[in-house]
Structure formats: C-alpha cells, structure tokens
Amino acid sequence: MKKRDWKAAFRTRSWRAGAYSALATVLVIAIAVVAVLAVSALPSSMTQLDMTREGMYSISQGTEQLLAALDQDVDIYWLAQSGHEDSTLEQVLGKYAEYSHVTVTEVDPVRYPGFAGDYTDEQVTNNSVIVAAGDKSMYIPFSDIWTYSDYDTYSYYYYNLGQEFLDVFAGEGKITSAIRYVTSDELPVMYFLTGHGESGPSEAVLGDIALENVRTETLNLVSAGSVPEDCAALGIIGPASDITAEELAAIRDYMDGGGRLLMAAAYTTEETPNLEALLLDAGLELRRGCVLESDSRYYQYGYIDLVLPSLGEHEITAPLREGSYTIMMPDAQGLAIADDEDVTVTPLLTTSDGSYLKAELEGQDSYEKSDGDEAGPFMLGAATDNDVTGAQAVVFTSAAFMEPEYSDTVAGANLDLFLNAVDFLCQREDAISIHPKIITSDYLSYTDSVASVLKLTVAVIVPALFLGAGLVIFIRRRRR
C-alpha cells in the first residue's frame, strides 16, 4: 500500500471511531484502577457493611467512644498461626485498627514461640490476643473470645463428633475491657459484705467482675466500723442472717453520702428487720417467701420456681432487651415499691399476673396457688435513685441467679445482668452496652406437599416459561 493510502486510511470514519473507542476504553480502565486504589485506602467501616443480624463484625458505641477518647498508644497482638486465623476476630480487630492510637499486629506463635512470654505465663492458644499499653498488659485466651451458649450441645459435638461447638463471640467485650484496664490509672473498688453467712459471689463471678476492671475486696463492718472512703459500690450477696443495728447505721451513713448499693437477697425463713429497713431506705418493700409462676411462658418447663421474668427499661437491661435474652431467677422473693417520694424506682425484672408468693415452701403438700398466697405481679429486680442524697441501689431477690449453674442455662444472660449492675453502680456505663453475640440459625420448614410444589416450580415450570418466551421471540424475529 502506498504512503498516501496509509494516510487516507487514518482519515476514514471507521478508524476514527475505533480510535475513540480505544481511548475511551483506556480512560475507563484508568478511572477504574484509580477508584479501586482509592476505595482500598478507605477504612473498612466505609467499604464493608455488616449485614449479620447479630452485628458480628461491628463494634458497639461504647467501644467506639472509648477508642476515640484514647490519649495513649495501645498495641494489640493477635497470636494467630498463618492459615488458621479466625475470620470473625480478624474483622473485629480491623475495626479497632481504624483508630489512631490503636495498632493491631498479627504474630505467628509458631514462628515466634517466645513472643508471648514477655506478657504472660499462661499457655498460649491460637487466635488469642494480647493488649498492651506502657508497662501494663492483659492476655485474652481464645477460650474467652469464643465460647458456647448451651453446655449439652457443646458436649454432644465435643464427645460424639470431636468438634467444638462455639456459638458465642465475646471478643469485643474482652478486648475493650483489656484496653480499659491497660489505660486506666486507678480501678474502682467494690466491697462485698461478710459476716452474715453470705453465699457469694463465687470465685468465678469475682473473676468476671475483675474482667470488668473493678477491684473487689471483702468488708466486715463489725471490725471496720464504717464503709471505706474508696468504696465505689457496696455488695450484699445472699446473707443468711440479719445485719446488726450498728452495721445498718454504718451503711446508712455511707448511702446518705451518695453511696451505691448492690443487693441480692436470699430466700430465708429468718427474720431480717435491719436488711428490710435498708431496702425501705432504697424505696423498696421485701415480700418474704418464694415467688412461683402459674403461666408456663414465664417459668422453665417443669420448674415453677425457676421464674423467667420480663425485662424492664433501664440502662442496665438495655443490651439484654435488644438481644431478646431471657433471665432466669431461681427461688426469688418479691419486691414492691415503698411509699417514699424522695426515691425513684425503676423495675428491672417483673413477673406475670399469674405469679404468686408462698411464704413457706417446707412442709407444703402442693405448690399450687392457695387462698393465702399473695398474688402478683412482683418485681424481682429494681434500680432506685434517691433524689435527695444521690444514693443509688440495685436490688435482686435471688442470691444465686448470676452463678454458672443458672446463668449458663440462659446463654450467660444472668451473669451479664449482674455485671451490668456492677458497671452501672461503679460508673462504668460504657461497659454495659457490650454483650456477647450469639450466632443463631433460622430454618425455613415446609410440608411435603409445599416442598413438591416448589420443586416442580423450580425444576419444570420456571425453565418452561423461559423456554416458551425464547421460542416466541425467535419465531417473531424469523417472520420479520
């Protein structure tokens, strides 16, 4: 082809159209590359949407507020063997890493076996976490990050299938608690009264309180004479006998100064006038006896004394209400609101209209409701505020509801309720909103007839409709 023929070819309409198309393609590819690079630089909170019902890959508002307020650097070391990383934990840690004072580093314990020894003496497990700031650190084993909601199900999988059935993710609460610990100069102290045959809390529950970054001490008022000045909250858990008049006076002095009280009353046949006077100061009247339920929706099957009360609206109960959790109260007494205009009472736990109170359980031929039983509903838990003194109290009428024996039956909700009360009274409200997330599976069930119709529709009718539409279009085009 001659030279002028080549020049003429470049002037044709087809060449110009092709050149424009090629240039447009290059521009589109360049824009796409720039867009991808720009999006990849954005934090995951702007590029990923957590569509899980439980919010598995999100962090709570309380955690966000804590991270935003940090004024010192925090290092989070994720001890994960390469190729065996927990995907949920990876996503959640990514949320922490978005904040300027938080650095998340993945460390392979196989390649660096001595790394964790600088922070803990415990046997390190895969996908565990270390949180450090300054000279303080906390180790969080994987067994605290993932656990189970039902022991029977877990045991079946473990012993019969050789698998661990872990459906409760508590990672956010543990990590946020560790950050609060390593960045706090002083921890609030909660004192638990002793000297009256108190039943608890148990060592397990005390350990959980410690994870809330609250120090616990015992207090014998007979020897101490007064409540210590550093007492953030006073706990009275399951006393078997009454406090003395001198102890009552000491606790009243503490409450008159704006003190905070957490009480879990025990069912007992002994007279406890001083403890009941303390409750009256908090605007509550104790209904002595044991609350039973006649409505099957409000007790565990077969046990009318294992009451499943309704949750009231309060800061303490908010995350449990949002998650539709169930609370179980064993052998609970009743509460009623006393006539005290200085005290505001907020019900936390309330029984149904079908509940009733038996003053005595021993020697009863039947636990069915009789003419002498007081009719419900009753409060089984309440929060009170004294508008004059500023004192606050949280009262439950079961002494053991927070213990694993009962709490594990309701996916740990009882313990969370108790810890929420501790956090509230110790003015650590930012910890209340963090609740373990339970993975749930919803199943859609069909009858055999409905399943047959669906199979026929998917396998025959829908393909036939598409085939018919295609044939109609083909025939119409052929006739044109």
pLDDT tens profile 330-374? 999 999 999 888 999 999 999 999 999 987 766 566 677 777 788
pLDDT tens profile 2-23? 555 655 555 666 656 666 777 7
In sequence order, the β-bridge partners of residue 336 are: 285
pLDDT tens profile 271-322? 899 999 999 999 999 998 889 999 889 998 888 889 999 999 999 998 888 8
- Residue 268's pLDDT is 79
pLDDT tens profile 27-60? 878 787 777 666 555 555 555 544 455 555 677 7
- Residue 3's pLDDT is 53
211-222 average pLDDT score? 91
- Residue 57's pLDDT is 61
pLDDT tens profile 165-214? 666 788 888 898 889 888 887 889 999 999 999 988 999 899 888 878 89
Region of poorest pLDDT, from 244-248, 363-367, 454-458:
363-367
114-136 average pLDDT score? 90
* Global pTM exceeds 0.75: no
**pLDDT surpasses 50 at 443:** no
54-78 average pLDDT score? 82
The identity of residue 459, as a single letter, is A
135-153 average pLDDT score? 79
450-464 average pLDDT score? 76
pLDDT tens profile 88-121? 899 899 999 999 999 999 999 989 988 989 898 8
Q: Which residue has the higher pLDDT, 349 or 448?
A: 349
Spatial separation of the C-alpha atoms in residues 242 and 239, rounded to whole Å: 7
Q: Which residue has the higher pLDDT, 92 or 434?
A: 92
- Residue 442's pLDDT is 47
- Residue 362's pLDDT is 64
50-79 average pLDDT score? 78
pLDDT tens profile 387-407? 999 999 999 999 999 998 898
3-state secondary structure string across the chain: CCHHHHHHHHCCHHHHHHHHHHHHHHHHHHHHHHHHHHHHHCCHHHHCCCCCCCCCCCCCHHHHHHHHCCCCCEEEEEECCCCCCCHHHHHHHHHHHCCCCEEEEEECCCCCCCCHHHCCCCCCCCCEEEEEECCEEEEECHHHHEECCCHHHHHHHHHHHCCCCCCEECHHHHHHHHHHHHCCCCCCEEEEECCCCCCCCCHHHHHHHHHCCCEEEEECHHHHCCCCCCEEEEEEECCCCCCCHHHHHHHHHHHHCCCEEEEECCCCCCCCHHHHHHHHHCCEEEECCEEEECCHHHEECCEEEEECCEECCCCCCHHHHHCCCCCCEECCCEEEECCCCCEEEEEEEECCCCEEEECCCCCCCCCCCCCCCEECCCEEEEEEEECCCCCEEEEECCCCCCCHHHHHHHCCHHHHHHHHHHHHHCCCHHHCCCCCEECCCCCCCCCHHHHHHHHHHHHHHHHHHHHHHHHHHHHHHHHC
